[in-house]
Structure formats: C-alpha cells, structure tokens
Chain A
Amino acid sequence: GQQLNQSPQSMFIQEGEDVSMNCTSSSIFNTWLWYKQDPGEGPVLLIALYKAGELTSNGRLTAQFGITRKDSFLNISASIPSDVGIYFCAGRGAGSYQLTFGKGTKLSVIP
C-alpha cells in the first residue's frame, strides 16, 4: 500500500523560531492535507492542497504541494507556545476514498 514518510519525528525549538516539516510518498498523491493534534483531542485540519505546486497559507502556517506530487511541506513562522502538538500529513491517491497518514511530527516550543 501507499506509505508516507514524515520528518522529523520530533523537534524542540525556541519560541519565535520558524519550523519546517515534510512528508514524502512512495507514490503520487492528488491531495495533501495537514492536521494538528493536541493531547486528548482528535486531529484538526490546518491546510488542504489539491494541485501540484500549490502554496497555501493559514495565518502563520504555509504548506506546499510538491511539483512531483510525491511530497509536501509545512512551515510555521514565528512559533508560539500554543503551536505545541503533533502535526500529521495525509495524502490521497487517484481514485481512492482513503487517506494515508504520516506518523507525525511532535513539536515542542521552549518559551
């Protein structure tokens, strides 16, 4: 089946720093989604991407759909303590109802 490699697995950053994380796929995806999960909660959708090369922002968050359609990137600018959580990428291949999820990037922000 389709597999997603998400990196890094975890990161510790200082408040105010920028953050980058990415996902790569073994196959082509038509849709990339980025979620954030807080402890004890379900994942919450941050950004959705539907076209190769697409760059979309949501406040301090920016995500890109890679040109090869096999990767996606999420950047967070000027991190704040409430950015702490686990970030997941998810992708959907052509003709599929299903989303495949990465294993997540755990973000810790040091005040």
Chain B
Amino acid sequence: DAGITQSPRHKVTETGTPVTLRCHQTENHRYMYWYRQDPGHGLRLIHYSYGVKDTDKGEVSDGYSVSRSKTEDFLLTLESATSSQTSVYFCAISKGQGQNTEAFFGQGTRLTVV
C-alpha cells in the first residue's frame, strides 16, 4: 500500500463551520491531489500541489483552499462548509509526469455537512 494517511476518516460538521482535512504521505512524492467523489460524477479534482507552497486549482475549487508547507502534508480547508460539500474526499499522490504519472489514493474521508 502507498503510504498515504487521511484524517479524519469520518466527520460530521455544521453548515458555516470551517473544516480542515489532512493528507499525510511517507513516499516523498512531489505531487499531491485532492479529489471529491459524488454519485454520478466520479472523481473530480479540487486542488493539487506540485511542490511545497506550490498549488493550483482543479475543476471544482470554489469554496476550498489548500496548503502545503511540507512535502509530506497537504491540507484541504473548507472555509465555511455547505451542504453541497457533503462528499467523500480522496487524497492522491504521484511522482510526476510521464512514466511517473500513476496516482495512488488514500482511503478517503467521508464528510457530512448538516
């Protein structure tokens, strides 16, 4: 198994509260990604990072921010959670492009916003 740990694994929060999800890797991979998975939509990219303090937006980035202060940690923050952000969130890592583009996933965080 790829050394990826997501925390928490489950969380219930109230609308309007801030929430931070953590992804920790032990593989020293350069690239880290946050995806959300919803029925009928598959996996959609929220944000990704290509190095420490280097991040960029994915296709569904509104309402989310990220930070990467160390190679091993990538944080996803919901500034003010909404019910539409109820989802399963997956972190993924990869070495890079070309032959190293394979992405390996964590076990996911199930977030419920009530």
Contact = CB atoms under 8 A, between A and B. Distances in A.
A interface majority secondary structure: loop
Interface string A31-57: 101010000111111001010000000
A97 B33 CA distance: 10
A90 to B, nearest CB: 7
Contacts of A69: none
Given A101-B43, A104-B42, A1 B101 contact: no
Interface string B31-71: 10101000011111100101000000011000000000000
A42 B107 contact: yes
Nearest to A91: B101
Interface string A59-103: 000000000000000000000000000001010100001110111
B74 interface: no
A97 B43 contact: no
Contacts of A42: 90, 105-108
Interface residues of A, number: 24
A92 B31 CA distance: 14
Contacts of A88: 42-43
Nearest to B59: A1
A103 B101 contact: no
Contacts of A98: 33, 45, 48, 58
Contacts of B104: 45
Nearest to B105: A42
Contacts of A1: 59
A101 B97 CA distance: 16
A50 B99 contact: yes
Nearest to A35: B105
A30 B42 CA distance: 21
B105 A44 contact: yes
A48 B48 CA distance: 21
5 contacts: A41-B107, A42-B105, A98-B48, A103-B41, A104-B42
Interface of A: 1, 6, 30-31, 33, 35, 40-45, 48, 50, 88, 90, 92, 97-99, 101-104
